[in-house]
Amino acid sequence: MTTTKKNYTEAWLDELDLRKTDMRDGTHLAKIGAALDAIEKAERELIEAVADAHAAGDSWSAIGVVLGTSRQAAHRKFAPLINQRIPSTVGRRAANGVQLASKVKLNSSIESKARGSKLSGKGRSTRGA
Residue 64 CB partners (closer than 8 Å, separation 6+) = 70, 71, 72, 73, 74, 75
The single-letter DSSP state of residue 123 is T
Residue 47 CB partners (closer than 8 Å, separation 6+) = 78, 81, 82, 85
Average pLDDT over residues 115-121: 49
pLDDT at 98: 52
Under a CB-based contact definition with an 8 Å cutoff, are residues 60 and 53 in contact? no
pLDDT at 9: 81
Number of neighbouring beta carbons within 10 Å of residue 45: 10
pLDDT at 12: 81
pLDDT tens profile 13-63: 778 776 656 667 788 889 999 999 999 999 999 999 999 999 999 999 999
More confident residue, 124 or 12: 12
Query: Is this model's pTM higher than 0.85 or not?
Result: no
pLDDT at 23: 64
pLDDT at 16: 75
Q: Is 53 helix (H, G, I), strand (E, B) or coil?
A: helix
pLDDT higher than threshold 90 for residue 106:
no
pLDDT tens profile 67-101: 999 999 999 999 999 887 654 444 445 555 555 55
pLDDT higher than threshold 80 for residue 2:
no
